[in-house]
Amino acid sequence: MIEETLVLIKPDAVKAAHIGEIITIYEKNKLEIVKMRMLTMTKEIAAKHYEEHIGRPYYEELEKFMTSGKIVAMILKGEDAIKRVREINGKTDPNEAADGTIRKLYAESKQHNAVHASDSPENAKREIAIFFG
C-alpha cells in the first residue's frame, strides 16, 4: 500500500552536515520526497509533536535538543513507507541499530539519534499536519 510518512532530520545530523547522505538513503530505497522544508522547531511545535511525552522525566531535555538548531522536515511517500522508513532508520539506540541503517551511520547517541519517523498511519497524518499544515 502506498503511504506517506513524516521524517525529521534532527539537529545533530543537520549540524554534522549529514542531510544529503540521509536523503540519498531514502531515495535509493525508492521513497519519494513529496515536500521538504528546513526550520527551527519552536517550543510550541515541539509540544504539539511530542504531546504524549509532556510531563515525562526526559521531556525537557528532548525539547531542548529538538529546538537547539535547524531540522529538516520531509514527507516521504512509497510502498509501505511507514514500516520501511523505520527499518531504514534503525533502532533508536545506534549501538543496537543494524549495520547500514541511518542511526548506525549517523546517530551520536540514543538521545541524539539523527532522525525521527512516524510510527503509524494515524501519527503520520497528525505529524504531517503539524509541519506542513
> Does 116 qualify as catalytic in the annotation?
yes
- Out of 18, 53, 112, 116, the active site residue is 116
Considering only CA atoms, which of 96, 78, 85 is closest in space to residue 8?
A: 85
Which residue(s) pair with 37 in the sheet? 73
> How many whole angstroms separate alpha carbon 70 and alpha carbon 127?
17
Are 71 and 50 in contact by the 8 Å Cβ rule? The answer is no
Look at the block and give the residue holding cell 537547539. Answer: 68
Closest CA to 107 of 123, 124, 89: 89
Which cell is 130 given?
A: 503539524
Active site residues: 116
